[in-house]
Amino acid sequence: MTCHRHRAAAAAIVALALLLPATGCIQNLWRDPGGGKATTLEFTIKKDVQIPERPVVIFLCDGLQKKLFDEMLAAGELPHIKHYLIDRGVYVENAVTSLPTVTYADITALSTGRYPGHTGILGNKWFDPEYLVSQDYTEIDTMALVSDDIRGPTVYELLDHEKSEVVLTQINRGCTRFYENWMRAGVAWFFKMFRRVSMSTTARLQNTAAEANRDKRWPSLVTLYYPSTDEAAHLYGVDSPRYRELIRVFDVEVGDACKAFEKEGLLERLMLVLVTDHGMVNTPRHLDVRAAVSRMGAKLYTKQLYELPVHYWSRVDRFRSPDTIVLVDSYRFAKLYFRLPGLSWNHRPTLEEIRGLEAGWHGWFGLKSAARSGERLDLVKELCALEGVMFAAYGDRGYPEPTVRIIALDGAGLITRRAENGRKLYRYQVTEGRDPLGYADSSAAKALLDGQFHTADQWLAATIETEHPDLVAQLPEMFDSPRAGDLCLFAKPGWDFGDGNRGGHGGLTRDETIVPMIFAGPGLPRGARLPYARTVSLTPTIVEHIRGERSPEIFHRFDDDSLLDKLRAPGQNGPSNN
């Protein structure tokens, strides 16, 4: 997740900030934690501080690729994570993140227990064609607006009677205390001092301890956000020494925090969670999707796309001329929104109407040329033929059975969702040529290609070892929102839709969708493994753990179930409510 604009204007400000004392904010930032040392945090909890019955601390690391994470664990490069989490808890071997695999969408899903298609946060950028509202959270002056845009309560609001603290992530609505770290993390980020960014997050635990001593109560939930790994992967690549080093830094910071908890007798009372929002892949090759669509004849919206406080009719005027909006998100995911000739943006085009758009863009000469050649211009086919595009997805939000069409150059598939007795069921059929998802190559997944409807958990279990796990159950949920786009493009491995970056995410490969997730704490077995789960289950799990109950008034709103029972007996994955 990158905030990239206004850098020239900010340079003088951040340079000055480095010279200012950190009054009233982070202390002991220049500590030097490491293996074999005691904690370097100035962290003391007085005896009269009340500790909640079931407190939780979340270590949220952005853009952590599981393949490399596991490799570093096996090589002994992450000793603190192994000692304090892996050896003391339950490692989810295959944790599937939410779609799209984009920071703001996924952290919101983690923090609400709802898929992005149901929270309204469809990525770091989105456009709403029904209301002509748009947002881009990658800007310094708009990144905090995400909390206002989330539909539904966050975990902090669901724990409204409990004290909670959040460090750095802007998805924090309802928390008791938010530490933005702008004066230190913002400055370090600007100058690419990413180790300092990570250290500033952990250092805030010193403030947490000081507040607990003052208020006589430790928080029920603390979320610590570490974004540096993601930025390093974008800039330098997943295989770079810089990315690997920042994962080691994250390990050291987790260790320093856990040593502080251990010193003060908190460690055995805390549930510790390590999780990431999405994975990462290298992107040595680049495709400019916006330029390609423009060459096909589209009138692109070219201005800055984020919401300004203007009247609806001003927004209508702003979007009157263009007929296409292309939003590239996290470099490997593109959302395309189309306005048909003579119609408004809130008229959603059918797949056939999208196919025919290119002919209309070229006008009479394009139609005549196509007629002479005997070929029909097909925009979707042209997009899928672009080098770097893995496949396209189109969501038909029709009632009562929404569908998602997955279209590749050499094949197509159809996902259909049905509701029966309050439960969602899904069917996947290969409708043309080769299966774009490759499920026929897996015996477990192939068994569900029987023309019948199956539950979300059945699809998760059957596809968990494939290159595209859980897509059948998740893509229809993503397209529940018109903000997902009329047509989505996903990049091939090794490609992105931008330029200049060496790593990215947003796509649907296994390295982007399968992520690390670990739980350790009271009542959980040590050194155990859970075969698979979804990261959207995090909030239901935390709410049940802290509250000590499964309130129907709360749990009916979640898109997946709590993992607590499975974590306590992780030998097998039983069915959930899905």
Contacts of 476 (CB under 8 A, 6+ apart): 395, 402, 403, 404, 415, 417, 426
- pLDDT > 90? residue 221: yes
Say how far apart CA 234 and CA 137 lie, in whole Å. 17
Q: How far is CA 522 from CA 273, 532, 536, in A?
A: 12, 21, 22
> Mind listing the pLDDT tens digit for each residue in 453-462?
999 999 999 9
Is 326 strand, coil or helix? strand
Contacts of 407 (CB under 8 A, 6+ apart): 380, 384, 391, 392, 393, 394, 436
Average pLDDT of the chain is: 91
The two structure tokens encoding residue 354: 């999208």
Share of the chain above pLDDT 90, in %: 80
Q: What distance separates the 2 farthest-apart alpha carbons in the chain?
A: 86
Query: Given this model, what pLDDT does residue 473 score?
Result: 98
Q: Yes or no: say if 175 and 166 are a contact pair by the CB < 8 Å rule.
A: yes
> Mind listing the pLDDT tens digit for each residue in 257-306?
999 999 999 999 999 999 999 999 999 999 999 999 999 999 999 987 77
> Mind listing the pLDDT tens digit for each residue in 149-171?
999 999 999 998 899 999 999 99
Sheet with 221-226, strands from edge to edge, namely 177-179, 164-167, 221-226, 56-61, 271-276, 517-520, 89-92, 528-530
Q: By C-alpha distance, which of 269, 272, 247, 246 is closest to 72?
A: 247
Query: Given this model, what pLDDT does residue 313 score?
Result: 85
- 571 burial type by CB count under 10 A (0-12 exposed, 13-18 middle, 19+ buried): exposed
| Secondary structure of 496-553 as H, E, C letters | ECCCCCCEEECCCCHHHHEECEEEECCCCCCCEEECCEEHHHHHHHHHHHHHCCCCHH
55-113+154-281+513-568 belongs to CATH 3.40.720.10: yes
In this structure, what DSSP letter does residue 183 have?
A: I
User: Quick one: residue 139, left, alpha or beta (phi over 0 = left, psi -120 to 50 = alpha)?
Assistant: beta
Q: Yes or no: say if 87 and 26 are a contact pair by the CB < 8 Å rule.
A: no
Give the pLDDT band (50/70/90) at residue 572: low
Please report the sign of the dihedral spanned by the C-alpha atoms of residue 112, residue 114, residue 115, residue 119.
negative
> Mind listing the pLDDT tens digit for each residue in 46-59?
999 999 999 999 99
- In the chain, where the domains are located: 55-113+154-281+513-568, 292-303+313-502
Q: What single letter denotes the amino acid at residue 561?
A: D
Q: Yes or no: say if 546 and 54 are a contact pair by the CB < 8 Å rule.
A: yes
> Mind listing the pLDDT tens digit for each residue in 409-466?
999 999 999 999 989 999 999 999 999 999 999 999 999 999 999 999 999 999 999 9
> Mind listing the pLDDT tens digit for each residue in 181-192?
777 777 888 899
Q: Which residues of 171-199 are buried (b: 16+ CB within 10 A; e: fewer)?
A: bbbbbbbbbbbebbbbbbbbeebbbbbbb
- pLDDT > 90? residue 19: no
Pinpoint the alpha helices (H) of 312-376: 312-318, 351-355, 357-373
> Mind listing the pLDDT tens digit for each residue in 82-125?
999 999 999 999 999 999 999 999 999 999 999 999 999 999 99
Angle, CA 530 vertex, CA 528 and CA 531 arms, to 5°: 135
Q: Yes or no: say if 543 and 54 are a contact pair by the CB < 8 Å rule.
A: no
Say how far apart CA 415 and CA 399 lie, in whole Å. 14
Q: Yes or no: say if 156 and 174 are a contact pair by the CB < 8 Å rule.
A: yes
Say how far apart CA 431 and CA 457 lie, in whole Å. 23
94 or 399, higher pLDDT? 94
pTM of the entire predicted model: 0.94
Q: Which residues of 201-227 are buried (b: 16+ CB within 10 A; e: fewer)?
A: bbbbbbbbbebbeeeeebbbbbbbbbb
The two structure tokens encoding residue 135: 């947002």
Residue-by-residue DSSP string for 26-45? --STT----TTSPP-S----
Query: Given this model, what pLDDT does residue 293 score?
Result: 97
Q: By C-alpha distance, which of 438, 430, 441, 432 is closest to 409?
A: 432
- pLDDT > 50? residue 372: no
Euclidean distance between the first and the last CA atom of the chain, given in angstroms as a whole number:
31
Say how far apart CA 138 and CA 140 lie, in whole Å. 7
The two structure tokens encoding residue 220: 């029920």
Say how far apart CA 106 and CA 279 lie, in whole Å. 11
State the average pLDDT over residues 395-407: 88
Q: Which residues of 532-549 are buried (b: 16+ CB within 10 A; e: fewer)?
A: bbbbbbbbbbbbbbbbee
Residue-by-residue DSSP string for 387-401? TTEEEEEEEE--SSS
Query: Given this model, what pLDDT does residue 339 score?
Result: 97
